[in-house]
Amino acid sequence: MNFLNKLKNPHNKEDEAFLISLKSILGYKPKKIFYYKKAFTHSSVKKTKDGKPYNYERLEFLGDSFLDAIIANYLYENAPFENEGYLTQMRSKIVSRENLNKIGRDLGLTKFVQSTVNEEKFGDNIYGNIFEALVGAVFLDKGYKGCEKFINKVLIKPYVNIERLEGKITSYKSVLIEWCQKNKSEINYNVYEDKTKEKVKHFSVKLSIDNKVISKGRATSKKKAEEVASKRAYYSFQTEIEK
């Protein structure tokens, strides 16, 4: 029996343990285990017989699309008097990378990941990526209604509060740049790669306003480092910004 057939026809204790663990997250026992095992397969592990990639990335793409659609429908039904701009902004907050990473982390999804790469090298976005892949697997196994029910259970009910989200800032950098432009101040991000012995590459940034260093940030990507520094700077000027 080849690799793909084994995935489609689980008959061992390991697969049964996998299904039981997933049931506690999904709320049901999966039927098409093939999709769920693929959702947790890192690109470093498997390839098909003809050498093509076999990993969670295509399911991640599918899950991302249905996640957007289901959240859009939820907002359409629950914010009936809001305009398109409001709905788009709220959806962006709900399906932000930060939010999806938190959900994936809270669900403990990385414990299922099959990979030859050390978990320390995954990066923060692995949590959200795997969650989206799982959504894709749920759709292929249970259809749109089943997928909607799953997202309602693990995302909407525990994490979505429209009133709270209305005041949530998704990009401190954007807020800070807008404020500086309004006040005709010059803002600058000096980003550089950290020279450390850590396995994961880190970047640091110095944020300056009118040539004065206001804050610093450090993260595993330039974008994240800038956001960390921006958040710290925002709270330094919060009173002035919120006037």
**Residues with catalytic roles:** 64, 132
The tokens for 10 are 């689980």
How far apart, in whole angstroms, are the C-alpha atoms of residue 1 and residue 134? Answer: 26
The tokens for 61 are 């793409």
Question: Which SS3 state, helix, strand or coil, does residue 40 take?
Answer: coil
How far apart, in whole angstroms, are the C-alpha atoms of residue 115 and residue 45? Answer: 5
Give the side-chain half-sphere CA count within 13 A for 179: 20
Q: How many CB atoms lie within 10 A of CB 143?
A: 11
How far apart, in whole angstroms, are the C-alpha atoms of residue 9 and residue 171? Answer: 45
Q: Which helix (H) or strand (E) holds 217?
A: strand 212-219
Q: Which helix (H) or strand (E) holds 205?
A: strand 203-209
